[in-house]
Amino acid sequence: MDFSGRNIMSIQDFSRDELEHIFKVASDMEKFVKTGSDILKNKILANLFFEPSTRTRLSFVSAMYRLGGKVLGFDDPKMSSKAKGETLVDTIRVIESYADAIVIRHTIEGSVTLATEYSNVPIINAGSGTLGHPTQAMLDLFSILREKNTIDGLTIGILGDLKYGRTVKSLAYGLANYDVQLVFVAPEQLRMRRDVLEDLSEEGTSIREVSDLDEVISDLDVLYVTRIQEERFPDPSEYEKVKGYFCINRRTLKPAKDDLIVFHPLPRVGEISTDVDSTKHARYFQQSSYGLLVRMALLSLILS
Amino acid sequence: MDFSGRNIMSIQDFSRDELEHIFKVASDMEKFVKTGSDILKNKILANLFFEPSTRTRLSFVSAMYRLGGKVLGFDDPKMSSKAKGETLVDTIRVIESYADAIVIRHTIEGSVTLATEYSNVPIINAGSGTLGHPTQAMLDLFSILREKNTIDGLTIGILGDLKYGRTVKSLAYGLANYDVQLVFVAPEQLRMRRDVLEDLSEEGTSIREVSDLDEVISDLDVLYVTRIQEERFPDPSEYEKVKGYFCINRRTLKPAKDDLIVFHPLPRVGEISTDVDSTKHARYFQQSSYGLLVRMALLSLILS
Amino acid sequence: MDFSGRNIMSIQDFSRDELEHIFKVASDMEKFVKTGSDILKNKILANLFFEPSTRTRLSFVSAMYRLGGKVLGFDDPKMSSKAKGETLVDTIRVIESYADAIVIRHTIEGSVTLATEYSNVPIINAGSGTLGHPTQAMLDLFSILREKNTIDGLTIGILGDLKYGRTVKSLAYGLANYDVQLVFVAPEQLRMRRDVLEDLSEEGTSIREVSDLDEVISDLDVLYVTRIQEERFPDPSEYEKVKGYFCINRRTLKPAKDDLIVFHPLPRVGEISTDVDSTKHARYFQQSSYGLLVRMALLSLILS
């Protein structure tokens, strides 16, 4: 399977076979985390973050470093030429001279797609607009696989802002490759968008929608909690209404199966109480370390 | 020719012979862009940007990386000790312990010159005040040379803000080393400064000044378009008057010679319509990749 | 002496023997500044600066580079996930997957201590709250040792903001390991805190407090001047009162011993006149280069 030079725009561009190949390579990467490697010795990654990011940005940096590569870029568009009014396409056509692959997080999803048409080097979408965050979805799937040894057959709850969150949408599409039961848990005003539900149904994915976690907690094998992202809400008063709607704590998890595992893309701001951190359910910090492996796998696949 | 340890402050410090040596080395660098190199393996470059920059800053980073070196620095003076009131000379006297060469972009040209008197490591001026941007001028000359195989004998139009733009001034001084016909195209209030015109005349450079591109477009071998930089204007209302004065598009270029080539230091904000990008005239993205080669050449020359 | 994996939180955690071991290793590092080294080839340092820093941050970067290592992180918390409301403990638990050691500068000292309880990789405190800045204290001691060949027996004046400055407190505790005479010079409202004075007395350190440098300048072997840090004052009007209280110049130093040496952690903003820079007393720029050696020593000790 050849990923060399491939753009990573959307989780929907990847078949189950391709995902499983990536996951196999990701597991192989584990040894390099401690020892390092020279696989990407003379390669340069450009990290272009037009929106704030800690973990996504730094995990790409760490992934390149662990493979012997180098990273340049910016994390603050105010200081860049975007401040002088440059279009993303122009930025890309310049940066492609300086780097062998480009990671972009941008507010406008269309501009990232457009950029791929002009770039001579592969582009990785690191979360753009409200649409997609494919490498997050891949690491989420990989995390489930590593912690449960399977994805097929699981009942997976996804809770939080299902309307504006880009993480959950990509994850749901990714899970549609497997034989899972999805349970979407959200307040009325943050329910998963209708078009996504229709896409998933077409894929044959079994879906249940509820607004109360208590109703379904005991059925779940995996609970995926997301942050309510204030910055995605067009109307701040709408945010105020749902803020703090969900806070998972030890009491919430009492009716859960013994082997329920809880994920969160992080950062959390109150959606999961820290009293959950030391329970057997918590897996969100492991999840973040799996992210490193998946990004190492992707970089090694598209750059070699 | 020994450039080891040399400061790069102004294009006027370089003779034609020296420039041609740099261009020869720049062409030799092309092979390292793909393969990498260890020429500067244990060298550290400090990138000190007190003003925003994408392409200049990142092209120096990429140049060091392609030669095996490392880069530290800052691109946001707000977060640095300048915010605590430190002088540039003090900053330099500290940073010279941490790095083998220093690239500076600063608002005040005099402070960069002063810094060279105190620094034990070579300093590269990456655009300071309204005066000079020597590495941009070098890459502009190199771009013409690569695309035309010669600079002598060409008729070269330079269009845009000739009064405040630091790029055009350095370019004009650089071109004065060659046997060229310069055509300055600018609205009345943005004409090239008198002292620069006099310097160029003394060098024997043939100069023509017009305010209308149409008048001269058919004569040009090279058209160098620059951004009208809002941030350089002391008076915003003056900027509003000339904003959008020039917008090169396919129609503008219709009377041009078949082999006219168009450059722009980028970023552009409307001075060249994107409909020009796919014409045979457009060379501004190549120009930016030549910049990488020139900076690799300079770094390898002063650091080895 | 094994420092592998050790946290560096406070100068008070280090015995005189341990400090001297670090200083010996620091001197050994000198050769690598010019030649480079591969000692930390596959190691990654995370630099997490929640407060502005130039020299501390960049000297850690340079130290890693000189030893063959790599650095990731941020210097502007506004662009990081802290802007999304993440706690420091959560940030650390993510970053520890990406790096082999973590350097933190943070406003809240307690949060850094708390972070060490969760981190699987060593953490270096690079200045947190008003309490401590241990690596600065180590480099200050090392600087005295290198310039005086001894610390025992010296009379050392420490001048400036002794109340809010974190540098001086750590330095004083570090000096308490040696047989020195400390002279604290500060205006009434910026005198050293009582609890620190008591700690030092218990250690048997001889202390004298004055508000006028002239009174003691001729007794001193070392004068350590610190910045009055506006940002540490709870009340701006209190700052206005003491601003410019001290400005060391050639005249101030006239009664000094011939071999008095003057240090300053830098940046300075008027506490030492530039007319002192060229005197035989000035050592503050050397001090900053010794900082690089001490940080190389610490990184090599805790990471190997």
Q: DSSP characters for C187-253? A: -GGGPPPHHHHHHHHHTT-EEEEES-GGGTGGG-SEEEE----GGG-SSHHHHHHHTTS--B-HHHH
Q: Which of A35, A266, A289 sits opposite C90 (nearest CB)?
A: A266
- A contacts of C90 (beta carbons < 8 Å): 266-268
Cβ proximity of C93 and A285 under 8 Å = yes
| CA–CA separation, A75 and A80 (whole Å) | 9
Cβ proximity of A193 and A165 under 8 Å = no
pLDDT average, residue stretch B212-225: 96
Q: Which of A41, A86, A94 would best serve as a mutation to test chain B binding (most B beta carbons within 10 A)?
A: A94
- C contacts of A291 (beta carbons < 8 Å): 97
pLDDT of residue B118: 94
Q: Distance, in angstroms, between C169 CA and closest chain A CA?
A: 33
Is the pLDDT at B240 greater than 80? The verdict is no
pLDDT average, residue stretch A66-91: 81
Q: Which of B64, B71, B81, B93 would best serve as a mutation to test chain C binding (most C beta carbons within 10 A)?
A: B81
Residue B245 lies in a domain: yes
pLDDT of residue B21: 98
- A contacts of C85 (beta carbons < 8 Å): 267, 269-270
| CA–CA separation, C157 and C185 (whole Å) | 7
Residue C222 lies in a domain: yes
Cβ contacts of residue C8 below 8 Å, gap of 6+? Answer: C122, C123, C124, C125, C134, C135, C298, C302
Cβ proximity of A278 and A300 under 8 Å = no
Q: Which of C24, C6, C1, C15 is nearest to C296 (CA)?
A: C24
Q: What residue of A is the nearest CA neighbor of B290?
A: A97
Q: What residue of A is the nearest CA neighbor of C42?
A: A36
Sheet of strand A44-49: strand arrangement: A70-74, A44-49, A101-106, A123-128
Q: Is A202 left (phi over 0), alpha (psi -120 to 50) or beta?
A: alpha
Q: Which of C72, C84, C90 sits opposite A62 (nearest CB)?
A: C72
The amino acid that residue B178 corresponds to is Y
Same domain, C108 and C160: no
Q: Which of C74, C84, C93 sits opposite A75 (nearest CB)?
A: C74
pLDDT of residue B82: 56
Same domain, A237 and A296: no
| CA–CA separation, B7 and B13 (whole Å) | 10
Beta bridge partners of B184: B158, B209
Q: Which of A35-39, A74-78, B35-39, C256-260 has the lowest mean pLDDT?
A: A74-78
Task: Give A 86-105 residues with CB within 8 A of chain C.
Answer: none
Residue B211 lies in a domain: yes
Residues above pLDDT 70, as percent of chain B: 95
pLDDT of residue A151: 98
With contact defined as 3+ CB pairs under 8 Å, the chains touching B are A, C
Cβ proximity of B271 and B265 under 8 Å = no
Is the pLDDT at B122 greater than 60? The verdict is yes
Residue B2 lies in a domain: no
Residues above pLDDT 90, as percent of chain B: 76
Is the pLDDT at A137 greater than 80? The verdict is yes
pLDDT of residue A103: 97
Q: Read off the pLDDT band of A107 (50, 70, 90).
A: confident
pLDDT of residue A83: 59
Tokens of C256: 């000094």
Same domain, B226 and B128: no
Cβ proximity of C270 and C245 under 8 Å = no
With contact defined as 3+ CB pairs under 8 Å, the chains touching C are A, B
Residue A6 lies in a domain: no
Same domain, C120 and C169: no
Determine the structural domain holding residue B80 and report its residue range. 11-133+289-303
Task: Tell me: cis bond preceding C267? Omega within 30 of 0 counts.
Answer: yes
Residue A208 lies in a domain: yes
| CA–CA separation, B57 and B75 (whole Å) | 8
Same domain, B157 and B280: yes
Is the pLDDT at B20 greater than 70? The verdict is yes
Q: Do C98 and A267 make contact, defined as CB atoms within 8 angstroms?
A: no
| CA–CA separation, C156 and C165 (whole Å) | 17
Residue corresponding to tokens 């809002």: B230
Q: Do A52 and C86 make contact, defined as CB atoms within 8 angstroms?
A: no
Is the pLDDT at A53 greater than 80? The verdict is yes
State the pTM of this model: 0.95
**Alpha helices by DSSP H, chain B:** 16-35, 55-66, 88-95, 109-118, 134-148, 166-175, 194-202, 236-242, 250-253, 284-303
Mean pLDDT by 10 residues, chain C (304 residues): 95 97 98 96 95 90 98 77 76 96 89 91 89 92 98 97 88 97 93 94 95 96 89 76 80 97 93 96 97 98 95
Helix (H, G, I), strand (E, B) or coil at A48: strand
Q: Do A93 and B269 make contact, defined as CB atoms within 8 angstroms?
A: no
Same domain, B95 and B33: yes
Same domain, B77 and B182: no
pLDDT of residue B270: 86
Q: Which of B296, B258, B24 is nearest to B146 (CA)?
A: B24
- Dihedral pair phi/psi, residue C47, rounded to 5°: -105, 105
Q: Distance, in angstroms, between C58 CA and closest chain A CA?
A: 16
Cβ proximity of C126 and C60 under 8 Å = yes
Q: Which of B119, B236, B217, B227 is nearest to B167 (CA)?
A: B227
pLDDT of residue C164: 83
Same domain, A243 and A173: yes
- B77/A41: higher pLDDT: A41
pLDDT of residue A82: 57
Q: Is B81 left (phi over 0), alpha (psi -120 to 50) or beta?
A: alpha
Kindly list the distances between the CA atom of residue B124 and the CA atoms of B117, B140, B301, in Å, as whole numbers in the listed order: 13, 17, 12
Same domain, B124 and B232: no
Cβ proximity of B255 and B218 under 8 Å = yes
Domain count, chain B: 2
How many other CB atoms are found less than 10 A from the CB of residue A16? 13
- The DSSP secondary-structure symbol of C84 reads G
- C contacts of B93 (beta carbons < 8 Å): 285, 288
CATH number of the domain at A253, please.
Answer: 3.40.50.1370
What mean pLDDT is reported for chain B? 92
Nearest 5°: the CA angle C289, C293, C298 is 140
Residue B99 lies in a domain: yes
B240–chain A Cβ distance below 8 A for any pair: no
Strand intervals (E) in chain C: 44-49, 70-74, 101-106, 123-128, 155-159, 181-185, 206-210, 222-225, 261-263
Q: Read off the pLDDT band of B81 (50, 70, 90).
A: low
Q: Do A80 and B52 make contact, defined as CB atoms within 8 angstroms?
A: yes
| CA–CA separation, C91 and C97 (whole Å) | 11
Residue A46 lies in a domain: yes
Same domain, A159 and A103: no
Q: Distance, in angstroms, between C267 CA and closest chain B CA?
A: 6
Q: Do C59 and B83 make contact, defined as CB atoms within 8 angstroms?
A: no
Q: Which of A124, A144, A115, A157 is nearest to A255 (CA)?
A: A157
pLDDT average, residue stretch A183-203: 93
- C84/A250: higher pLDDT: A250
- B contacts of A89 (beta carbons < 8 Å): 274
Q: Distance, in angstroms, between C73 CA and closest chain A CA?
A: 7
Q: Which of A178, A163, A182, A267 is nearest to A221 (CA)?
A: A182
DSSP output for A125-166: EEEETTTB-HHHHHHHHHHHHHHHS--TT-EEEEES-TTT-H
Strand intervals (E) in C90-177: 101-106, 123-128, 155-159
Same domain, A211 and A121: no
Instruction: Please state the ipTM of this predicted complex.
Output: 0.94
Q: Which of C174, C202, C195, C197 is nearest to C184 (CA)?
A: C197
Same domain, C43 and C126: yes
Tokens of C50: 């929640």
Tokens of A28: 């192989």
Is the pLDDT at B170 greater than 80? The verdict is yes
Q: Of how many residues is chain B composed?
A: 304
Q: Do B90 and C268 make contact, defined as CB atoms within 8 angstroms?
A: yes
Is the pLDDT at B191 greater than 80? The verdict is yes
Is the pLDDT at B159 greater than 80? The verdict is yes
